[in-house]
Each structure stands twice: as structure tokens, then as C-alpha cells.
Amino acid sequence: ILPFEVDFYKKHDYRIDYVGNPVVDAVANFREENKNDVKDKFIAENNLDNKPIIALLAGSRQQEIKDNLPAMLEAIKGFRGYQAVIAGAPGIDPDYYKEYIGSNSCKIVFGQTYRLLQYADVALVTSGTATLETALFKVPQVVCYKTPIPHIVYWAFKNILYTKYISLVNLIADRVVVQELFAKFFSVDTIREEVNKLLNDNTYRETMLADYDEVIRILGESGASQRAADIIIKKLKRGK
């Protein structure tokens, strides 16, 4: 389901069909089903302010939220013309978020991550599928991921794992499309600097959006699940 996987499997003599990514289907289906939705309705239903939105996708696990959300919230202080909205993760109690929100005037929406991305101006995203979903919604983003012993983790990442990137967006493009502020690069100041560029440097922002188009082209059109099913049926009928 990821284009860069094909060469790996072919190198080991597996017969591979790239069918596309089901996240493309999920986003396309959401847009079709919600084509009559409007931002004013989203704001009213969730008691939000009538301001541009900075979306915070701080992860799906408690440890990720604990590590990333406080720095995200601190980094966006000072962007007074914007409101921060957290995408609440399934299975996480709202009270858990309140431990880290404190006095921040920040709202949380549950079960509406796609809707939030549809109306966000910028997103701060913990690495994972969410980085790809954010790109598919054409929302400029910065990838944030705090690690313990950051300098050692970064050294291991570069010298043992031999992986260039941590975000699916950059892995698919095979180059830097979005900034990955993880390990030794993760800090309140670096996050704030990147958010400022995404909001106020129009050339920087438009370059990222154009790069998203290339990522979307590489991923292919929607219909991944149907293509996978069609291939399976053909192979079963042939008996191999």
C-alpha cells in the first residue's frame, strides 16, 4: 500500500502489485459524504471561535500525548489570531487532555479528525498515518515527535536503522517535503519557528502544498481496496 515498498519486495523476488493506499479512499469517501458541510457549521457544533484553526494531532497513545502536546501548546502561544483545536484520539478520556491543556484556551473535538483537517490552516502532527492524512487534506504541517535521550536516538536512527525519514509524506516523496522535528530537533522554539513560516511565509507554504500534489500523484487514485480485491480474485481463479 506504499509505493516505496515495491522495490524492497522485488529485490527479494516477490511478485508485487501496488494497488494504492486505502487512506486515499478514506479521504475521498469522507469528502464525498461531507461535500455539503461548511466551516461555520463545524465551528458552531463544536463551540469554537470564529478564527483560523491550528490543528494539533498529538498522537493516539497516552505516552505520545504526554510527550508531544505540552510542547505543541507552548509553541503556538503568541499566534493570537488563531485558535488551537486538538484532535481527540479514540479511547483517550477527555480528562487526560485537560492535564496538559491547563490554562490554554484550547478546544478538543473527538471523532472529527478529518473534519478538523478539512478546515485547518496549519497542523502540528505526531508522526504516523496522520501525516499522510494531513497531506491528503492539503494542510501545511510540521511533524513533531519527542523522544527520550534525543541525541542518542537520532544517532541510532541515522546509523543503525538507516531510515532517511520518519513521516510517510517524506518517505513517499523520498525527500524533505515537511519538516520532521524529532529527537534532537524537537523543541518549543523549533516548532514555533516552523509554524510561523507556514503561516506567514507564503512561498514556503505554497511550495509544501505543491509538493503534496507530487506525493498524491505517487500514491495514485482512490480505489485501492477494490483493486486489491480484483487482483486476489484473478489469482484465485488462475489457481496461483
pLDDT in tens, the chain (240 residues): 888 889 889 999 998 889 999 999 999 999 999 999 999 999 999 999 999 999 999 999 999 999 999 999 999 998 989 999 999 999 999 999 988 887 777 999 999 999 999 999 999 999 789 999 999 999 999 999 988 677 676 777 677 666 788 899 999 999 999 999 988 889 999 999 999 999 999 999 999 999 999 999 999 999 999 999 999 999 999 986
Cα separation, 58 vs 113, in Å, equals 12
What pLDDT was estimated at residue 161? Answer: 66
Instruction: Provide the pLDDT for residue 111.
Output: 95
Shortest CA distance to 205 belongs to which of 179, 168, 187?
179
Residue 212's pLDDT is what?
Answer: 98
Domain spans of the chain? 21-222
Q: How far apart, in whole angstroms, are the C-alpha atoms of residue 34 and residue 116?
A: 12
pLDDT at position 149 is 72
What value, to the nearest 5°, has the Cα angle with vertex 216 and ends 61 and 180? 45
The per-residue pLDDT for 200 is 96
Q: Phi and psi (nearest 5°) for 61?
A: -115, 155
Q: 180 and 165 in contact (C-beta within 8 Å)?
A: yes
What is the identity of the amino acid at 214? E
CATH of 21-222, one of 3.40.50.2000, 2.60.40.1120, 2.60.40.420, 3.10.20.590: 3.40.50.2000
Among the listed residues 123, 130, 195, the one whose alpha carbon sits nearest the alpha carbon of residue 167: 130
pLDDT for 127 = 77
